Structure 1
């Protein structure tokens, strides 16, 4: 118990001592000189090549509506595998427009279209089976 109290006391002392210190200025590798943070961020960013955003992938699925959350704008589906996303069967919530959410009710067996962006999906259409 004494060891734990000592460890906590030393940790709090170190944190308190570090609170008043300013962050160190980054050092440029070539000149070994301090570089002001504003210099590193200034300039025209128009000529910087940006990685293109991954294009959304369209996918289709089949499943059962297990929950609807109108406030969050989500519909939860217990769906089969979705090969386009490399997803196995699972239950998950998807964003959906209010009209899509209003067209479904818990327990409905549905076919649905998804727009996949990264690891997230949005239901873009839903059809009762």
Structure 2
């Protein structure tokens, strides 16, 4: 019993002594790993982050050609809802290659493929409906 009390007393003395000591800083070993954040210096709060490129969405639509601006390279379509973009039916202008603006006429009912980036889109294919 005396032995157990002595062990407990020595253990408590060692813990009490350890509470007053500062933790030692481990010696760095050269590795191929990145330095921990605490070892980095400088103000990274002002570091500019590159914006993520907006994702493009491929979608299909159905509508009527309401205007063509060959100089601006746009085609305006009164189209039905486009679920892939969560767009309701509306009339809007899209970018379009000259082959598309040359092939379409105002009043044509069409099916079209569009690539959407953000709130803008480009018609990449168009087919007249009979």
TM over 0.5: yes
Partner of 1:54: 54
- Number of matched pairs: 84
Provide the rounded CA distance (Å) in 1 between the counterparts of 2:52 and 2:74: 28
Let me know the Cα RMSD of the aligned residues.
Answer: 1.7
Q: C-alpha displacement at 1:51, in angstroms?
A: 3.7
Q: C-alpha displacement at 1:54, in angstroms?
A: 1.7
Stretches of structure 1 lacking an aligned partner (at least 5 in a row): 1-40
1:98-122 deviations in Å (ceiling 9; x for gaps)? 0011110001000000000011011
Report SS of the residue matched to 1:106: coil
1:37-59 deviations in Å (ceiling 9; x for gaps)? xxxx9xxx9xx753431221100
Partner of 2:69: 69
Provide the rounded CA distance (Å) in 1 between the counterparts of 2:115 and 2:85: 10
Partner of 2:92: 92
Stretches of structure 2 lacking an aligned partner (at least 5 in a row): 1-45
TM-score under structure 1 normalisation?
0.61
Provide the rounded CA distance (Å) in 2 between the counterparts of 1:50 and 1:72: 30
Paired residues for 1:92-111 under 5 Å:
92-111=92-111
Provide the rounded CA distance (Å) in 1 between the counterparts of 2:65 and 2:93: 10
